[in-house]
Structure 1
Amino acid sequence: MACALGRHHQLRGGPCTAASIRQADGSAAVSVPPPPEPGGVLGRPLRRREDRRLLMGQGRFLDDIAAPPGCLHAVFVRSPHPHARIGGIDSDAARGVAGVVAVLTGRELNALVAPLRMAPPIEGLLPMEMPVLPVEAARLVGDPVALVLAETRIAAEDAAELVQVAWDPLPAIASIAQAKEAAALVDPAVPGNRVSHQVFATQGLDAAFARADRVVETRFGQHRQTHVPMEPRGVLAIWDAGREHLTMRVGTQAPHPYRSAVAARLGLKEFQITVDSPEMGGGFGQKIIPLREDLCLAAASRLLNRPVRWRETRGENLTAAMMAREEIVTTRAAVSADGRLLGLTCAIEADFGAWAFFPANYMARVVAMILPGPYRVKEYGYDVQVWLTNKCPAGPMRAPMAVTSWIMEGTMDAIARELDLDPLDVRRINSIADADLPFITATGERYDALTPRATLDAAADTLGYDALRAQQAQKRETLLGIGLCTVVESTTYGSAFYRSAGIPGSGHEVATVRVEPSGAVIASCGLMGSGQGYETTLAQAAAAGLGAAFDDLVIQIGNSDIAPYGMGSRGSRGAAAGGGALYMAGQRLKAKVLAIAAAMLDLNSADGLDLREGRVLRQVEGAWADTGLTLAQVARTAHLDPLRLPPGMEPGLHTVLAFDPPAMTYTNSTHACAVEIEPATGALRILRYVVAEDSGTRINPLVVEGQTHGATAMGLSGAMMEHAAYGEDGQALAGSFMDYALARAADLPDFTLSHHDTPNPRTPAGIKGMAEGGTMGGIGALMNAVNDALAQTGAHLESQPATPARIWAALQAAKDKA
């Protein structure tokens, strides 16, 4: 979820001209300003401002905030069973531990916190309701059922072990197959355990399959993963009884929606809550909304009128925070003899876990909507089913649509194998070309300024595709595999997208920019960073829009009392929504600055004036000349000498701008990798890895490069080794890093990156966003390379992770079959 800006267009004739666009849903036009002159702060590879304090150990994370006087420490009592009735909770022994102040259960806390009801009006989606703590039954291992509060963390931990729960184990559902067949229900309100079902098909789909030369069916299984942020979750809740005000110090990606949710659940008004987000050691989607522990602490602080803090353990984070990714997908491709894709269907079954923090159809339906990716698929249909199981609830994780690219690209490889064609040729013949743009997909999504054919060719050439194919044909002791994966990544998620998907919500972002009398510039928006470098990249966007010097501008984010209400950081929207809003706000304020400057220079209008690096320039005989006037001088006049302002102009220099981006903005990239497999052991090694990407206009190339590296590493780690495994009895099997493996530096290759950027014509400065495509591409390229290697033996791995043990088992199965 990062920022990506950087390709420039020459601006001639004045600083404030704008293009007018119409939203994808046909709503009112939005004025989108063009990029500034080349050579400015936009696109400059500046080092991140944040890094100095972080590298010196002077960051301010939640644990760096000293506990207020009287602060209590919280520990949760959690279910050891995947499914069990709660017969009763005996806390007498726990209350007797020295320092214990309270033991609260669902019966006390549910009276203070309203249940979360997830029931958007979507056809085929059943409503679900979740109390802040369960009273009748726990639905997963790690389900919180009681809260212990004590003067010290040690006392709270000791007391939590003494809380006695009368468990009555119930049958547990640990897989989609069990959910379909079991008489037991995860949620009594969801008959048959299927919580969501949606279907879609174009009118000509059946005809496309009827005229196909071949129908190729392929199956994909993506395994359950979890976010594993470097810093687990935590909360410090402080209730001020005198002011009737709650302060939540918490790492959250979306401070304002988080505040609104807490206010609604606790029956407070939003002005009674301040959300203050300090430094955050990673989020990846796990820290967007208030989860149950957050709400318990807020209610406990209010009930006891004392500050309360909680720090999640790594085991809690791995088993009970939130998970993602578990899907089973089958595609059927109708193709001609030369590999042209005539029609496509996909059937998706997703494991949603036990409770609903988000609409149950959300992630799986987005996968289905964007599945055709970079290919000309006119006839398309999907069937999406979401099932409940006794597992940790599902939610968005960096690239919640991550499986999409592997499904589509794996299908292209299957077509090539079935027809004995080269996988690269099959992709080229089906790829969307420049002449196809703007392209409307079968599901109604609009592609602007995409370059999938260009990135495909660039990645293949850089990888040395032809030479590797020649090597692969030679006799070798190891298996050589080549994987290609072209990604079309969805970003921005404007309000029109949510409406078309039937999901309540807004995709707009709000920015404020103000110039103080000294010329210092303070800018803000509703995002919150968790490692993306927002203090740098957002400052570049605002400075570029205004024409201020980068060092004179600061970004203030993360505090709901300071920043304007925005939708937060998620879905790679930071650049197009947040950066775009700041850029446009800067442009708006720049117009006022230049109007004041014109008056100060005794000019009739601001035509021919511009503000760059904090200095007012004037165009004279086709060249820009320094007028000697600075932003600081203009600001001093605006604030302290308002009688010198043009007639009717308000004093001061400040602006607020709200921007609702296009329904969806898309960016693209192609990942290509070569792998080597040792047949005797299944050991996997990545030999070479290439990424060719089109990130649109890049704010900061260094940050874009870092985001691509990090996202790709996350995708590769997930595809190779991460697995939030459960036993057939529903027991969580990955409660520590001994069981949940993460890729280390030595497990990952060097990345070769190239850029083929095209600005988007419908977003400010051509911004696209790009921080989740690396995860999608890493998964698809790795799995396709593994299966390309295994295909030489007749083996195939249809589900992740591609561990040596699973690769070896696939090789043995192929050998036995042969």
Structure 2
Amino acid sequence: MTTGTATAGFVGARVPRIEDLRLVTGAGEYVDDIVRPGMAHVHFVRSPLPRARILDIDVSEALALEGVRAVYTAADLNSEVHELVYALDLPGMPPVPRPPLAEGEVRFVGDPVALIVAVDRYVAEDAAELIVVDYDPLPPIVDYTTAAENPELVHADCPANLAALIPGMPAEQRQQIYDDAAHVVRQHIFQQGYVPVPMETRGLIAEWSAPTGEMTIWASTQSPHGMRGFCARLLGIPEHLVRVVARDTGGGFGQKVVPGREDISVMLAARKLRASLKWIEDRQENLIAAGSARHESGIAQMAFDADGRITFAAIDYLQNVGAYPIPSPLTAAFPVGMLFTGPYRVPAATFDLKLVYTNTVGRVAYRGPWQFESVAREILMDTAARQIGIDPIELRRRNMIRQDELPMVNPSGMPYSDMTPLETFEKAIEALDYEAFRKEQELAREQGRYLGVGTCTYVEPTAGSTPFYATEGGTIRIEPSGGVNVYVSGGSAGNSLETTVVQLTADALGVNVEDVHTIQGDTAVTPFGGGTGGSRSASVTAGAVAETAAALRDRIVAIAAHKLNTPAEDIEFTGGRATVRGVPDVALTLREIAEIAYFQPEALPPGIPAGLEASGRYRAAAPMIWANATHVCTCEVDIETGRVTLLRYIVGEDVGPMINPNVVEGQIYGGTVQGIGGALYESQAYDDDGNPIATTFMDYLLPTATESPTIEVVHVESHSAGPGGFKGVGEGGAIGSAPAVINAVADALAPLGVEVGALPLSPATIVGLIDAARGKDAQS
């Protein structure tokens, strides 16, 4: 039991981010900043075709080029894999290997075919022009909506191009429910593919030491320990012979959780060549080969009674997994069905899931990977409101779950607890002054201007305790100087985990923030951890720090009590000083206590070990921790040009107590802007022949500061069952923003009879929808 009282109160304060000085002054250390002795550079030859047999690869001219050290193809590298890597290996479905380099057949434009090692990137790229690949083109499967009926197969062992199929309630049973309902609303919604686009593209350095049989990797990764285990299995060597170092990572958003095929190839090539190899992806490679997300569609349906209360909900969900998805797309697809009822009181629900392969780049995780459940549900709720004749805010109020109704289990079996859907919704609507906006909208329409308002309310399971994510370790070492070092698996990926850990540790120990430092992202010195993903970092890291600090604090207090000749319960330890309660002038600093612990073992109290270092491991007590939010967006649509101007943007969120409001709000801002990009701008499009048509930022459009609105945040706080009551916040902004923006545009265009069903809502799409609606009116 911990004694003494810590009153520092750094948790909850807007402590400036400690990593910012390093990053904004250019002192960050990313993979491309690292140079190793004798390091060579890697470049990949990639397929220009979406599907073709590889008949022959002639590398002779490339090998003859001065500066080229090696050229590897599948015949050279793929057999070096110790443990086969799978794209998918699901029960009841044929396993699909994920080869390092394309073997026998290329399956998407950008498929890596050969790996070149040269003295620098320039020579490697020149060598790529000299490699001749003889392809036999095959008909590609591009349209995922018809892939299951296409006679061609992406993978020969996967009939109907199915990656997974999970049926729901029989159609006859559903129809009976619809027949008995007062209102039934149905909508088919298509969401385009888009990509995480981290500022730092993928990259790593793999260095093989032949004398020791050790591999050292510097990587842009969200999971250093995950990559270490992956590499050990890949090479068939013990984990202690692999060291992964992740210094600064310029964003990941899910794309950098699992090593890609290029990472695998570089690891294998480094061991084969017995060298240090660097690979840095360029932006074109990132856009066409790093992975796709959000490429999905669904038929969403809801039944309502005469009072507008939901009686049944269903979604038939179809997902494009591309050629080589990572990690298992089922982990994103299944929650779409399980969470489709979202924050609403729904007595019965069902879902169908179908995942299909195509000759496009593989699906990867992306911030809020099951986000389509909110897109489909919230668009449908607005459509329902218009069809039934109820205001969309009132329709939501009638159906939304209140805090006092929890805990409860949703109809798909998800155990809801510790959240505030209706309460947060009301705060966000109040911040907008909804009635005033409706009056403004009415006046604007009289003037020929089209304003709209849209909302999205979602609930999100964070910090899920899947096997890999179930525990998190921490080590705290107080040095003889009194400085505090805290070691966690972590990694700086833009989520400010450094500042978060320092604040948590300062409060847990009772020391000052400036006396705490954190070491993260190096598997040689940090305890095992799952890395950043699943909105888990704050909760599990808080647990790891608390578990570790408790034992160490007890030891500090015991040493101080013994030295000051007073009972431990009379010791107060705060600000790095131990005092006797009521006698503030008698004190020991943490440095003095550390000197006793390290250099005066004879002065330690009985049973207290020498030194001040402790390790602990937090085990998640619940399978998930629930967060929730409401996004509210207003916009104006120019019906002649299709341009959307965002007017106000409000986020009401409940992520529990905030460790650092600056960090929390930063996460909300970043995720929100990503969702806005997905609603209005971004599209990883392919033509009918399977060629990507957005290969640069001239074609792949991202929102900039000019297009991003000022985001207002309204905080609501309820405590989770996890450490400190904290909840996850990393993914929520990207989940709630796209539906809110889509609904705002649909609301603006509602007087014209426009119904939104396909994304993104680019100016051309909006003008097309308006023209189509006008055409219908003219025909009628």
Instruction: Judge same fold: TM > 0.5, yes or no.
Output: yes
- Taking structure 2 as the reference length, what is the TM-score of the superposition? 0.96
Asked whether 1:294 is paired with 2:253, we answer no
Residue 499 (structure 2) aligns with:
536
Once the two structures are superposed, residues 482-535 of structure 1 have per-residue CA deviations (whole angstroms, 9 ceiling, x without a partner) of 10111212210113xx6xxxxxx4432111112112211111212212111111
Q: Does 1:483 align with 2:454?
A: yes
Q: Quick one: which amino acid aligns to residue 536 of structure 2?
A: R
Contact preservation (8 Å) 1:128, 1:356:
no
Q: Which deviates more from structure 2 when the two are superposed, residues 438-447 or residues 698-707?
A: 438-447
Q: How far apart in 1 are the matches of 2:173 and 2:572?
A: 54
Alignment of 1:701 with 2:661, yes or no, is: yes
- 2 CA distance for matches of 1:362 and 1:438? 24
Aligned-residue offset at 1:815: 0.3
1:486 aligned partner, one-letter code? T
Deviations along 1:744-776, one digit per CA (max 9) or x if unpaired, are 11111111111111221x111111021211111
Are 1:613 and 2:575 matched, yes or no? Answer: yes
Q: Using the alignment, how far apart are the partners of 1:626 and 1:792 within structure 2?
A: 74
Match of 1:413 in 2: 382
Structure 1 residue 561: deviation in Å? 0.3
Partner residue in 2 for 1:218: 187
Q: CA deviation at 1:209?
A: 4.4
Relative contact order, CA 8 A, sep 6+: which one is greater? 1
- Note if 1:756 corresponds to 2:719: no
Aligned pair count reads 772
- TM superposition score normalised by structure 1: 0.91
SS in 2 for 1:747: coil
* Structure 2 partner of 1:595: 558
Confirm or deny that 1:564 pairs with 2:527: yes
Q: Distance in 2 between matches of 1:319 and 1:598?
A: 63
- Distance in 1 between the 2:270 and 2:680 partners? 43
Q: Quick one: which amino acid aligns to residue 721 of structure 1?
A: Y
Matched residue, 1:174: 142
Question: What is the Cα deviation at residue 446 of structure 1?
Answer: 2.4
Q: 1:337–1:419: 8 Å Cα contact kept in structure 2?
A: no
Match of 1:736 among 672, 688, 696: 696
Letter in 2 for 1:507: A
Check 1:126–1:216 CA distance in 2 against 1; reply closer, same or farther (3 A cut).
Answer: farther
1:473 positional shift: 2.8
- 766-775 vs 808-817, which moves further: 766-775
- CA distance in structure 2 between the partners assigned to 1:667 and 1:189 by the alignment: 41
Counterpart position of 2:202: 233
Find the partner of 1:281 among 234, 238, 250. 250
What is the identity, as a one-letter code, of the residue corresponding to 1:172?
P
Q: 2:153 aligns with which of 185, 188, 192?
A: 185
Whether 1:361 aligns to 2:324 is no
What is the deviation of 1:205? 7.3
Secondary structure of the structure 2 residue equivalent to 1:217: strand
Query: 2:771, 2:325 → 1: CA distance?
Result: 40
Distance apart, 1:692 and its partner CA = 1.2
Deviation of 1:477 (Å): 1.4
Query: Is the counterpart of residue 687 in structure 1 residue 647 in structure 2?
Result: yes
| Residues 580 and 587, structure 2, Cα contact 8 Å, conserved in 1 | no
2:636 to 663, 666, 676: 676
Deviation at residue 476 of structure 1 after TM alignment? 3.1
Structure 2 counterpart of 1:514, from 472, 477, 491: 477
Structure 2 residue aligned with 1:272: 241
CA contact (8 A) 1:205 1:380 kept: no
Report the alpha carbon displacement of residue 94 of structure 1 after superposing the two structures with TM: 0.9
Once the two structures are superposed, residues 290-341 of structure 1 have per-residue CA deviations (whole angstroms, 9 ceiling, x without a partner) of 1111121122121112211111111000000111111101111111122111
Structure 2 counterpart of 1:583, from 536, 546, 569: 546
1:320 to 270, 289, 294: 289
Residues 247 and 491 in structure 2, CA contact (< 8 A), matched pair in contact too:
no
Which of 610, 616, 628 is residue 651 of structure 1 equivalent to?
610
- Is 2:30 aligned against 1:61? yes
Contact 1:543 1:586 in 2 (8 A): no
Spell out the pairing of 1:139-538 with structure 2 (5 A cutoff). 139-200=107-168, 209=178, 211-474=180-443, 475-495=446-466, 505-538=468-501
Distance 1:763 1:812, change over 3 A: same
How much does 1:587 deviate? Answer: 2.5
Offset of residue 204 of structure 1: 10
Deviations 1:199-244 (CA, angstroms, capped at 9, x unpaired): 4569997875454211111222111001111111111111111111
Q: Are 2:508 and 1:545 aligned?
A: yes
Deviates more, 1:590-599 or 1:377-386: 590-599
What is the Cα deviation at residue 736 of structure 1?
A: 0.7
Q: Which moved more, 1:126-135 or 1:800-809?
A: 126-135
User: Which shows bigger deviation, 373-382 or 774-783?
Assistant: 373-382
Q: 1:390 to 1:654 in 2, by over 3 A?
A: same
Inter-CA distance 43–226: structure 2 relative to 1 (3 Å threshold) = same
- Where 1:637 maps in the other structure, the secondary structure is helix
Q: Partner of 1:110: helix, strand, or coil?
A: helix
Give the secondary structure class of the aligned counterpart of 2:227. Answer: helix
| CA–CA distance in structure 1, aligned partners of residues 153 and 447 of structure 2 | 52
Alpha-carbon distance change, 412 to 678 in structure 1, aligned in 2, over 3 angstroms: same
**Mean alpha-carbon deviation: is it higher for 247-256 or for 112-121?**
112-121
Structure 2: runs of 5+ lacking an equivalent: none
Change (3 A) 1:95 1:373: same
- Once residues 380 and 801 of structure 1 are traced to their aligned partners in structure 2, the CA distance between those partners, rounded to angstroms, is 28
- Per-residue CA deviation, residues 122-150 of structure 1 (Å, 9 max, x unaligned), is 4x554221211121100000000101111
Give the letter for the 1:353 counterpart.
Answer: G
Amino acid at match of 1:152: D
Higher mean alpha-carbon deviation, 546-555 vs 382-391, is at 546-555
Contact 1:347/1:383, CA 8 A, preserved across alignment: yes
SS in 2 for 1:226: coil
| Counterpart code for 1:485 | C
| Structure 1 residue 768 corresponds to structure 2 residue 760 | no
CA contact (8 A) 2:6 2:510 kept: no
Partner SS for 1:587? helix
Supply the distance in 2 between the matched residues of 1:607 and 1:414 (Cα, whole angstroms): 63
**Cα distance, 1:403 vs structure 2:** 2.1
State the SS of the aligned residue for 2:244.
strand
Q: Give secondary structure in 2 for the equivalent of 1:148.
A: strand
**Are the counterparts in 2 of residues 286 and 396 from structure 1 also a CA contact under 8 Å?**
yes
Percent identity over the alignment is 37
* CA displacement at 1:617 relative to structure 2: 4.6
1:348-393 C-alpha deviation (Å, 9 max, x unpaired) = 1000000132223121112222222211123111111100000110
Instruction: Go from structure 1 to structure 2 and tell me whether the alpha carbon gap of 1:206 and 1:809 turns closer, same or farther (over 3 Å shift).
Output: closer
Distance 1:431 1:104 in 2: 58
Label 1:519 to 1:219 Cα distance change in 2 as closer, same or farther (>3 A).
same
* Contact 2:480/2:591 (<8 A) preserved: yes
From the superposition, tell whether residues 212 and 625 of structure 1 become closer, same or farther in structure 2 (CA, over 3 Å). Answer: farther
Determine if the alignment matches structure 1 residue 628 to structure 2 residue 590: no
- Paired with 1:208 and 1:554, the residues of 2 have a C-alpha distance of 59
Mean Cα displacement is larger for which, 130-139 or 407-416?
Answer: 407-416
Q: Closer, same or farther in 2 for the Cα pair 1:161/1:469, shift >3 Å?
A: same
2:746 alignment counterpart:
787
Alignment correspondent of 1:4: none
1:177 is matched by which residue type in structure 2? Answer: T
